[in-house]
Amino acid sequence: MEITKIPWWDHLMNSMSSWKRRLEEDHDQQKMTSFLEEAMEKSLVEDGTLATDSVKFQTLWHLREGIAESLMRAGVVYKYDFSFAVEDFYDLVEVMRKRLGGEAVLVCGYGHVGDGNLHLNIVGPTLSKEFLALIEPFVFDWTASKGGSVSAEHGLGFKKRNAMGFSKSDKQIEIMQEMKRLFDPKCILNPYKTIPGVQE
């Protein structure tokens, strides 16, 4: 008789799978707890919390999603999506706070420390070319000087497509253009939001 045809086989496999999943979750929980404790001991973070159930997870996610909405109530938000080496992750926030001083309503950053993805949000009092000139191209130059990327998680979009040259060489951009033409010769996928020089 094949082992999979034994009447209790499915029950055994389901039980083992459930047991393995619980062990993995416990192991992950222990790893995260140890990581947070070590980060606090080394003063890398001041405080932290760990979602242990779906309600806490949803509460934390709601807080995270609410950041952008709350910033919009304070003024005009200039948003950037950079990536850096982890050791440089938050430095740009401090640099921009110092650079903009009282000109900015607020400068904040949040994101994914694990992959160095920083969401930089700068709140200005009004939409202003003069205020924007204090930000750009400075943020792009600074990012390039750290070997970072001017566009991480959210892609280039319309606004940053011409900023690629700050973090990619001419040759890299040329290769990207060739790949775009190869896979999308009619430029119907994400038109005008990808690579400069392909759809002009």
Q: Hey, where are the domains in the chain?
A: 3-34, 67-166, 169-200
State the pLDDT at residue 90: 86
Q: Is the dihedral of CA 92, 165, 151, 43 positive or negative?
A: negative
pLDDT of 153 reads 67
84 has a pLDDT exceeding 90: no
Classify domain 67-166 by CATH number.
3.30.70.2740
Q: Is the pLDDT of residue 27 over 50?
A: yes
Who contacts 160 (Cβ-Cβ below 8 Å, separation ≥6)?
A: 150, 151
Which of 159, 134, 153, 168 lies closest to 82 in space, CA to CA? Answer: 153
Q: What is the pLDDT of residue 1?
A: 47
DSSP annotation string for 104-119 = -SEEEEEEEGGGTEEE
Is it the case that residue 29 has pLDDT exceeding 80? no
